[in-house]
Amino acid sequence: MAALFSTSRPPRSILVVCTRRIGDVLLTTPFVRSLKAQWPDTPIDMLVFRGTEGILEHNPDVRRVIVVAQRARLRERIADAAKIWRRYDLACAAVSSDRPRFYCWFAGKKRIGLVDPNRVTLLTRLMLHGIAINHHESVHTVNSSLALTPLLGIEPRAEVVAPGIGDDPVRRAEFDARIHAPPAVLAGQPFVVLHPYPMFAYKRWHLEGWVELIAWLRSLGFAIALSGGPAAEEREYAERVAAAAGGPVLNMVGQLSLGESAEMIRQARLYVGPDTGATHIAAATGTPTIALFGPSDPVRWGPWPCGWPAGVDPWPLRGSGRHSNVYLLQGEGDCVPCRGEGCEGHVESRSDCLANLGASRVIGAAAELLGLPAPSVANPAVIQSIVDTSLLRLGDGT
């Protein structure tokens, strides 16, 4: 089909709709960057679920973020849509579901969107002027959204844009003081950021592994910082990790915005985390990143390496490996990845592939990213003793 806009007559305003989770919104930013590179003078707004807008903090390509409630009633959805009635020359549904197409139909004079192969109906064709098929079973999420670019005749740019804290010198000075000023744990030391807690238990690595990794990093002179969100369970788990590891840890879990977390990761020598939004942020910052994968599908959700070309999926379904600044470390087993919710099939399930992922493999990947020789790993019995003793103390409230 012919492009909807010409070079001589670009759209005067653009809305990109991504009503899904934080990671989905982040992995839509390459499409937004592609739009901005093609039409640098055209303002671009994004419409996202409330609670995910932080991932766009200080994104230079986005003028304004519109937030809507995730579980809104039909009347509220219509009221939200009415506020943006035909305000945009172009509206883009960057995820394939009915709700973004609904908002695009209201907002855009011209409309394009991702559509699942089995959802290309007459109604969909009436709502959208251009359709890109979402091959979500076999294509990385970044390449899914970039499939919209041919509809507009623009070059795809596969650069994930991490959030930030901006250039205001006062805010930057305040942030640096929180992280680095004495007596802060990180003062004057190179440091590593660890993100121990994903949203769902089936993506979680074991406590013993974090303890052994921290012991090895400290033996090399690295300070340790923990990142994470404000949920009570996340804070509690981070406190367990810090207590079990012993020694000083900068526990910033629940204390930073997503932009501030990204800035802390930018300054780190290494980041280690599970399949979660923070790991996608880390990869986008350019910091060496280890992604711990178990049941999750790396083809679809592996962190996007810096400099990776558009149209090429970086990760195979099975196996560990490194591309650019990202080392994807996959658990072992004939069933890996099951692409399900752990061994028991629910979000609080165990995942044997992660439970059996030894710290020696994570430390080996860390050594490679840090440019160090193959390491010798601390005695597992000693590490287990440290963990058991620390957990007993926690249980006693001491």
At residue 73, the pLDDT reads: 87
Do residues 39 and 93 both lie within one domain? Answer: yes
3-class state of residue 133 by DSSP? strand
Mean pLDDT of the 258-282 span: 97
At residue 183, the pLDDT reads: 54
pLDDT digits (tens, 9 = 90+) for 11-54: 999 999 999 999 999 999 999 999 999 999 999 999 999 999 99
pLDDT digits (tens, 9 = 90+) for 286-341: 999 999 999 999 999 999 999 999 999 999 999 999 999 999 999 999 999 999 99
Length of the chain: 398
Do residues 88 and 133 both lie within one domain? Answer: yes
Task: Tell the residue number behind the tokens 């790993």, with chain if given.
Answer: 377
Do residues 332 and 205 both lie within one domain? Answer: yes
pLDDT digits (tens, 9 = 90+) for 203-213: 999 999 999 99
Which among 197, 196, 221, 199 has a CA at the least distance from the CA of 211? Answer: 196
Classify residue 100: in a domain, yes or no.
Answer: yes
The pLDDT-based confidence of 392 (bands split at 50, 70, 90) is low
Q: Would you tell me the crossing angle of helices 380-396 and 207-219 to the nearest 10 degrees?
A: 110
Do residues 350 and 387 both lie within one domain? Answer: yes
pLDDT digits (tens, 9 = 90+) for 83-136: 999 999 999 999 999 999 999 999 999 999 999 998 889 999 999 999 999 988
Q: Looking at the 3D structure of the chain, how many domains does it have? A: 2
Do residues 227 and 360 both lie within one domain? Answer: yes
Do residues 241 and 378 both lie within one domain? Answer: yes
At residue 398, the pLDDT reads: 44
pLDDT at residue 381 greater than cutoff 70: no
Do residues 369 and 233 both lie within one domain? Answer: yes
At residue 327, the pLDDT reads: 98
**Strand-by-strand arrangement of the 250-251 sheet:** 250-251, 223-226, 191-194, 270-274, 289-293, 326-330, 321-323
Do residues 228 and 290 both lie within one domain? Answer: yes
Do residues 146 and 177 both lie within one domain? Answer: no
* C-alpha dist (Å) from residue 273 to 127, 270, 385: 40, 10, 24
Classify residue 165: in a domain, yes or no.
Answer: no
The verdict on whether omega for the bond into residue 183 sits within 30 degrees of 0, i.e. cis, is: yes
Mean pLDDT of the 352-357 span: 96
Give, as one character, the DSSP assignment of residue 47: E
Do residues 325 and 202 both lie within one domain? Answer: yes
At residue 149, the pLDDT reads: 96
Do residues 111 and 214 both lie within one domain? Answer: no
Do residues 114 and 197 both lie within one domain? Answer: no
CATH of the domain at 378: 3.40.50.2000
* C-alpha dist (Å) from residue 334 to 24, 319, 364: 28, 11, 22
pTM above 0.85, yes or no: yes
Domain span at 27: 14-152
The pLDDT-based confidence of 380 (bands split at 50, 70, 90) is low
- % of the chain surpassing 90 pLDDT: 83
